[in-house]
Structure 1
Amino acid sequence: MSEQNAIKIEGLGKKYLIGHNLDGGRPKTFREALTKGFKSALTSVRNMAQLRQLVAGDEIEEFWALKDVDLEIKRGDAVGIIGRNGAGKSTLLKVLSRITEPTAGRIEITGRVASLLEVGTGFHPELTGRENIFLNGAILGMSRKEIQRKIDRIIDFAGVEKFIDTPVKRYSSGMYVRLAFSVAAHLDPEILIVDEVLAVGDAAFQRKCHALMRELANSGKTVLFVSHNLRSLRELCRTGVLLEQGQVTGVGPIEQIIDRYQQTAADVQSVARLGAIEAWVKAEGREDGSNVFRLSLTARRRVSLSELCLIVTGKDEERLYILNQQNSFEMPYDLGPVSLQLRIDQTGPALVEGSYMVGVYLKADGKPYEDLAIARLEVPARKGFQTFYPPEVRGVVEPEFAVTVAAALEKQ
């Protein structure tokens, strides 16, 4: 590997085996349950004998989350990894962090790696915040003296002074993330890997994190950052990597890769998979200023749907507003193979003419899923509406309003 590379990846692949129940439900009789249990046990014994992954289900599907990935990351670069949900971004970071073993390929890493991927990873819940700082430092190969020199800065940055000697299992998700990021960033990593987990923190803390990551990158450290916030990626990263269906389809300057990603998002097929649910969206902008959205949801197995809304986004996937189901049906809703179909009519305020994206946020079986680029909304110029101002001056919405002259000024 070149001395200029912090990470070199060759032919990387990660395969998962997914089980599906063909009958789509629980056994109806004791005999069915007994037969199904016996078949499942027999399959498990066969898989163990063949040293294969144990998977429950009547039908086994191979799914490659990453396939034939070749990538070189330069030392001291700040790299943003971009892609739609399911593109393989988080899987790639887990493999690089040695949380998940690759199925195929080779990875060479030069330097100490610190990663912050998911809320709840990296800390022992029964230990206090202070004890977890020392534990993480020891895992990274640091001496106790090194950690003691940095511990005050770590605690101060995280803002958890009052609770540093409290077991972290009692922390809120925001406190947990603040301390976990502070530990990962301050314990002298040569490579820092950060996933979308920073979204849990508040805006002020996110700004502190971005500033610290910029400082690390400027000091020669390597930063890998996954985020759906394109503005953050523009501000922080110099290089972009575009992932599509588990494969690297583009590497280059961050602006160029973001533009390419947005172009691919424009070619969406109006369908996205969110966990076990398949979501289909169609959006239509009309000349009277109204918009019509159609949403269809189906699931291969029965799932409990507890939250649902459409998200309309503008440039850099900036969220403009949401449209929820407005109590049109009772939640939670049991969703299955029979599709749930909704029509949403938005009458105001009118969007300025232009191109927007429509996504879906939902919570299924208690787990949140989101895809911000499922369908494209093309808003035409309003019929009969006259203005001297171009779209880039007018913002994104045009509310109805009236102007009244309260008093006239006399000429002097």
Structure 2
Amino acid sequence: MKDIILKAENISKQYRLGQVGTGTLTHDLNRWWHQVRGKENPYLRIGDTNDRSTKGESDYVWALQDINFEVERGEVLGIIGKNGAGKSTLLKILSKVTAPTTGSIKSRGRIASLLEVGTGFNGEMSGRENIFLNGAILGMTKKEIASKIDEIIDFSGCERYIDTPVKRYSSGMTVRLAFAVAAFLEPEILVIDEVLAVGDAEFQKKAIGKMQDISRNGGRTVLFVSHDLSAISTLATRTIVLSNGSILAIEETNKAISIYSSMQQNESIFVQNELVDKPSITKVEIVTSERGTLQANGKPFKINFEINMLDENYENISLSFQIINNLNKAIIFAYIFDNNISICRKKEVNKLSYEFDNLRLYKGNYYLKMHLANSKTREKFQEFDCCSFEVEMINQIEPEWGWQNNVCQYIDEGKWITLE
């Protein structure tokens, strides 16, 4: 039998754009009249999906739609997705900060949440007083809080300032103390948004270690939202991928990260037709060793570029690219300067390529991050992601220990080629 501690059933959240509250008195009366007659809210039938890239045709937007999942006791569930996918809205509903438009949340035990820097803290009160305040909000007795207060202060690293008003804390100190309170006051469910990114590297490592400890040894459940895919990979056992307010996938974490990575531009060619009044990359094309965007480990790999110059007198152009793995980490970096090779001296289109004789990458999903700048003035003309591809171990003997993803990355040095 599964020990389910949290269950989301048909969760949806609708907002009315440009309005505070539900909208007009007419709409509220219409809702009430439908409710009296036992009918559905008429405004649930309308509304656009949560896609920021489109203008939309309705005043209503669905921040979340039909979210269903279960979480077992002691599980660490990651939640990933692009900005605006609905991650923070979902956590606010789970934390009961806001109510869902439809659906229900069923949970067993106390829920502690860390959604924004300083949430639940009173700036006029000292750090020590805020520990007792937050503990009381979580339903702890004064005696229970007092028994944990020394551990909380020690973990936060704020001992010297613990009797100073929180309004004088930096954002990093505030997050340190807030996380320590949430972690040590032993809620059954710990909900954490992206706030840990505010802390320094040392504290992030401590926080991840603490979350692992409370889930594995304490049997407590953690819901963790982060854009740091390395942290998600280390911490989460399963991960939800959100896209435009809906669940795209709920999978084992490595598979979920691969799905999320493939949401980058997955065409082998990036083309920009619109010309601007500065140098711009108008085309990027990857040429893989296999069909489509599939690349075999150890086989040739080529990237073609086109740079459009509206003014032939531009100098000091710098073109660079990175190959990014599915944890959003750059593993290959290559660049070229205009003063080394005359890559951008012609007006209109300048063509060049970068070739790898043997691209040695472990299997996984990758994409390109492009940069175009003035190497002298440091003016940045363009920066964007494009051209996802997948590396597989094709016709290679599988070693006894198995191929591992995203470890021990190695490549042979590539070379730039200018094209007439």
TM-score normalised by the chain length of structure 1:
0.64
Q: What is the match of residue 169 of structure 1? A: 167
Mapped contact 2:266–2:388 kept (Cα < 8 A): no
Given the superposition, is the C-alpha separation of residues 102 and 346 from structure 1 closer, same or farther in structure 2, using an over 3 Å criterion?
Answer: farther
In the alignment, residue 239 of structure 1 is paired with which amino acid? R
- 1:18 is displaced (CA, Å) by 1.4
Q: What is the match of residue 87 of structure 1? A: 85
Partner of 1:241, secondary structure, is strand
- 1:71 is displaced (CA, Å) by 0.8
Aligned pairs, number: 316
Matched, 1:238 2:237: yes
Deviates more, 1:141-150 or 1:77-86: 77-86
Mapped contact 2:80–2:242 kept (Cα < 8 A): yes
Matched, 1:109 2:107: yes
Given the superposition, is the C-alpha separation of residues 283 and 136 from structure 1 closer, same or farther in structure 2, using an over 3 Å criterion?
Answer: farther
Deviates more, 1:92-101 or 1:226-235: 226-235
- Counterpart selection for 1:138 from 130, 136, 139: 136
Deviates more, 1:314-323 or 1:97-106: 314-323
Cα RMSD of the aligned pairs, angstroms, is 4.5
Q: What is the match of residue 255 of structure 2? A: 256
In the alignment, residue 182 of structure 1 is paired with which amino acid? A
Distance between the aligned counterparts of 1:168 and 1:214, measured in 2?
28
For residues 119-134 of structure 1, what are the structure 2 equivalents within 5 Å? 119-134=117-132
Given the superposition, is the C-alpha separation of residues 350 and 252 from structure 1 closer, same or farther in structure 2, using an over 3 Å criterion?
Answer: closer
CA shift digits 1:283-340 (9 cap, x unpaired): 4569998875999xxxxxxxxxxxxxx98733411156999xxxxxxxxxxxxxxxxx
Mapped contact 2:257–2:326 kept (Cα < 8 A): no
Given the superposition, is the C-alpha separation of residues 82 and 288 from structure 1 closer, same or farther in structure 2, using an over 3 Å criterion?
Answer: closer
CA shift digits 1:109-134 (9 cap, x unpaired): 11111111111212112211111100
- Counterpart selection for 1:214 from 212, 215, 221: 212
Partner of 2:262, secondary structure, is helix
Mapped contact 2:125–2:165 kept (Cα < 8 A): yes
Deviates more, 1:199-208 or 1:85-94: 85-94
Unaligned runs of 5+ in 2: 33-42, 44-56, 272-280, 288-299, 309-320, 335-348, 372-382, 392-405, 416-420
For residues 198-347 of structure 1, what are the structure 2 equivalents within 5 Å? 198-218=196-216, 219-265=218-264, 267=266, 283-284=284-285, 313-319=324-330
- Counterpart selection for 1:357 from 350, 367, 381: 367
Distance between the aligned counterparts of 2:350 and 2:90, measured in 1?
37
Mapped contact 1:282–1:375 kept (Cα < 8 A): no
* Greater fraction helix: 1
Given the superposition, is the C-alpha separation of residues 217 and 288 from structure 1 closer, same or farther in structure 2, using an over 3 Å criterion?
Answer: closer
Partner of 2:99, secondary structure, is coil
In the alignment, residue 140 of structure 1 is paired with which amino acid? L
Q: What is the match of residue 178 of structure 2? A: 180
In the alignment, residue 229 of structure 2 is paired with which amino acid? L
Deviates more, 1:216-225 or 1:346-355: 346-355
Matched, 1:63 2:73: no
Q: What is the match of residue 15 of structure 2? A: 16
Distance between the aligned counterparts of 2:253 and 2:221, measured in 1?
15
Distance between the aligned counterparts of 2:120 and 2:370, measured in 1?
30
- 1:376 is displaced (CA, Å) by 2.5
Q: What is the match of residue 28 of structure 1? A: none
Q: What is the match of residue 147 of structure 1? A: 145
Partner of 1:101, secondary structure, is coil
Distance between the aligned counterparts of 1:115 and 1:359, measured in 2?
34
Distance between the aligned counterparts of 2:183 and 2:265, measured in 1?
36
Given the superposition, is the C-alpha separation of residues 104 and 156 from structure 1 closer, same or farther in structure 2, using an over 3 Å criterion?
Answer: same
TM-score normalised by the chain length of structure 2:
0.63
Deviates more, 1:156-165 or 1:237-246: 237-246
Partner of 2:152, secondary structure, is helix
Unaligned runs of 5+ in 1: 21-39, 54-58, 272-279, 296-309, 324-342, 362-371, 381-390, 401-412
Given the superposition, is the C-alpha separation of residues 315 and 223 from structure 1 closer, same or farther in structure 2, using an over 3 Å criterion?
Answer: same
Mapped contact 2:265–2:385 kept (Cα < 8 A): no
For residues 367-382 of structure 1, what are the structure 2 equivalents within 5 Å? 375-376=386-387
- 1:259 is displaced (CA, Å) by 2.4
In the alignment, residue 158 of structure 2 is paired with which amino acid? V
Partner of 2:11, secondary structure, is strand
- 1:222 is displaced (CA, Å) by 0.5
Partner of 2:367, secondary structure, is strand
In the alignment, residue 357 of structure 1 is paired with which amino acid? Y
Mapped contact 2:264–2:388 kept (Cα < 8 A): no
Partner of 1:176, secondary structure, is helix
Deviates more, 1:214-223 or 1:3-12: 3-12
Distance between the aligned counterparts of 1:171 and 1:293, measured in 2?
49
